[in-house]
Amino acid sequence: MQRSPTRVRQAPVTFSRAGVTAAFDAARWTGLLELAEACDVRVRWSCRTGVCHTCQSAVVDGAVAYSPQPLEEPGGDLVLLCCARPITPGRVS
Ligand code: FES
């Protein structure tokens, strides 16, 4: 079954380097960067709108959807934490 990003209300996300796992609540957080900050996980950022790629991180597993859509999506297994929302349980570095 395919899930729409808007239907997933909560998904567990692990920040691997920090060793922190928390539930992403789509009604509360605009993106993974806000969840990281709420969990005191240090993440570098600048624009918070998907332009600068300063918040880029590796996705270990799981899937995300962007909202807003970044100017240019990072390649490979990288994700922009400021505008990415998890659509499955997952892990980022
Ligand atoms: S902070 Fe600039 S792209 Fe995320």
Count Cβ atoms within 10 A of the Cβ of residue 90 and give its class: 0-12 exposed, 13-18 middle, 19 or more buried: buried
For ligand 1, is residue 78 a contact (CB within 6 Å)? no
Q: Which two tokens stand for residue 54?
A: 């300063």
pLDDT at residue 3, as a whole number? 40
Residues 26-84 have pLDDT tens digits of 899 999 999 999 999 999 999 999 999 999 999 999 999 999 999 999 999 999 999 99
pTM comes to 0.88
Which one is the CATH code of 10-92: 3.10.20.30, 2.40.30.330, 3.40.50.720, 3.50.50.60? 3.10.20.30
Number of alpha helices (DSSP H) and beta strands (DSSP E) in the chain: 1, 7
Closest atom of ligand 1 to CA, residue 44: 1
For ligand 1, is residue 69 a contact (CB within 6 Å)? no
Pocket test for ligand 1, best of 32, 37, 52 (most atoms within 8 A of CB): 52
Enumerate the domain spans of the chain: 10-92
